[in-house]
Amino acid sequence: MRTTGNDIEIKVNGITICYDDLGEGSIPIVFIHGFPFDKSMWQPQMDFLKKTNRVIAYDIRGFGKSTADNEEASMGLFGDDLIKFMDALFINKAIICGLSMGGYILLNTLDRYPNRFEAIILSDTQCIADTSEAKEKRKKTIKQIEAEGLNNFTELFIQNIFCKESLNDKKVLVEKIKKIILSTSSEIITGTLNALAKRHEMCFLLREISIPTLVLCGKEDIITPLIQSEFLHNNIRNSIFHSLDAAGHLSNLEQADEFNIHIYNFISSLSIE
């Protein structure tokens, strides 16, 4: 029997995953959060779409209220967690939405388990791997966090993920995200930074994608710039692309209403039996 509600816990792949499961629908929408956030970043989408669809958001291992073990973090491990999580909930196919690192996990998993995806939504993400320069930057960040803790990392990260308008006008949102980052353990943050640095390029997969695809990106995203989302759109046939004004890397929160409408229209256009 299906359990619905918030902060449900389930044992998956040797860890406990905490998730929200709301609404009704034959094909659920599963949301994968970005780094270094948790499932609460999808609250505007969950609240909006639960009226018409079954929506699920979960905490990636080590983030939010999900646990972690000693296994080294990787996009492949996160993807295995996703599939085993779906198995545990008896979900054969889902519409998967991933933002930033959530998009990396989505593409990694789509490559290995293509039959588990009904449609995909790629938000503020990219298919490229880290450059040598980006890898070095992550290594320096890891050393900084190990030496100083999360405060300086969090302050700089916050300045980069939001557009200026959001930083000035949406201070409650900014503070909420800051608290989420600071509530995560330094070990999980550094381990995930290492996983991000080691992730594989997935651009080869784009031309093989034949399922319905929506690409969304904040026009002022400097973490995964607009040009990367345009590349995704241009290489995934029949994909739909929308850029959002006055939004940085967290377009789903900075312009939640517009983001929600784009997802709703996309989902409504699908022929799902």
Q: Which domain holds residue 24?
A: 5-128+201-269
pLDDT value of position 159: 97
pLDDT value of position 203: 98
pLDDT in tens, 165-208: 999 999 999 999 999 999 999 999 999 999 999 999 999 999 99
Is pLDDT above 70 for 73?
Answer: yes
In a domain, 98, yes or no: yes
Q: Give the three-state DSSP class for 122.
A: strand
Give the chain's mean pLDDT: 97
Is pLDDT above 80 for 75?
Answer: yes
User: In terms of Cα–Cα distance, which of 70, 41, 21 is closest to 181?
Assistant: 41
In a domain, 264, yes or no: yes
Q: Give the three-state DSSP class for 226.
A: helix
User: In terms of Cα–Cα distance, which of 229, 250, 251 is closest to 240?
Assistant: 229
HSE, CB side, 13 Å, CA atoms: give it for residue 166. Answer: 28
pLDDT in tens, 20-56: 999 999 999 999 999 999 999 999 999 999 999 999 9
pLDDT value of position 271: 75
Question: CB–CB of 125/104 below 8 Å?
Answer: yes
In a domain, 164, yes or no: no
> pTM of the predicted model, to two decimals?
0.97
Domain count, the chain: 1
In a domain, 106, yes or no: yes
CATH code: domain of residue 92: 3.40.50.1820
pLDDT value of position 1: 78
The distance from CA 211 to its chain's CA centroid, rounded to whole angstroms, is 19
In a domain, 193, yes or no: no
Rounded-to-integer distance, Cα 149 and Cα 158, Å: 15
In a domain, 248, yes or no: yes
pLDDT value of position 272: 64
Is pLDDT above 60 for 273?
Answer: no
In a domain, 236, yes or no: yes
Residue type, 46: M
In a domain, 91, yes or no: yes
